[in-house]
């Protein structure tokens, strides 16, 4: 299965957070033993990371919920504009890696600083 497409809009200088429920065949996936990670880049092939989301599997892991967050300090340090991201879940030593989401991130220019 391909990663789902979900575009994000984040205000520069603001904290962004979203809770996501991972499902397989309509049932919450047990995320016990999994971690999650997500990065943003200026292009899909860019070597350098523009921003890293903090990803946490919420307890109980059997509910299949994870939180993806970008702190205000990170969004403040980024230039306004268009970026690309994806979100993966993985087990230890990357024995299993599944890409869940991908999309564009628009960082809206902050005015109040």
Domain ranges of the chain: 4-108
With CA atoms as reference, report the closest residue to 39 among 30, 31, 48, 26.
Answer: 48
pLDDT for residue 62: 97
Work out the average pLDDT over 63-76: 97
- The predicted-structure confidence for 34-61, as pLDDT tens digits, reads as follows 999 999 999 999 999 999 999 999 999 9
| End-to-end alpha carbon distance in the chain | 42
- The CA-based diameter of the chain, rounded to the nearest angstrom, is 45
Cis peptide before 17 (omega within 30 of 0): no
Residue 41 β-bridge partners: 84
Q: Give the domain 4-108 fold.
A: Immunoglobulin-like (2.60.40)
- The predicted-structure confidence for 70-96, as pLDDT tens digits, reads as follows 999 999 999 999 999 999 999 999 999
Checking if the pLDDT of 113 tops 90, the result is no
pLDDT for residue 99: 98
């Amino acid at each position: 299965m391909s990663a789902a497409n979900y575009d994000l809009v984040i205000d520069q200088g603001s904290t962004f957070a979203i809770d996501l429920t991972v499902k397989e065949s309509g049932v919450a996936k047990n995320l016990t033993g999994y971690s999650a990670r997500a990065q943003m880049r200026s292009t899909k092939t860019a070597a350098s990371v523009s921003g890293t989301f903090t990803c946490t599997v919420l307890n109980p892991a059997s509910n299949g919920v994870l939180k993806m967050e970008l702190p205000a300090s990170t969004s403040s340090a980024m230039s306004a504009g268009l970026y690309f991201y994806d979100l993966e879940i993985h087990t230890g030593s990357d024995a299993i890696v599944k890409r869940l989401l991908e999309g564009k991130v628009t960082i809206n220019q902050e005015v109040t600083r």
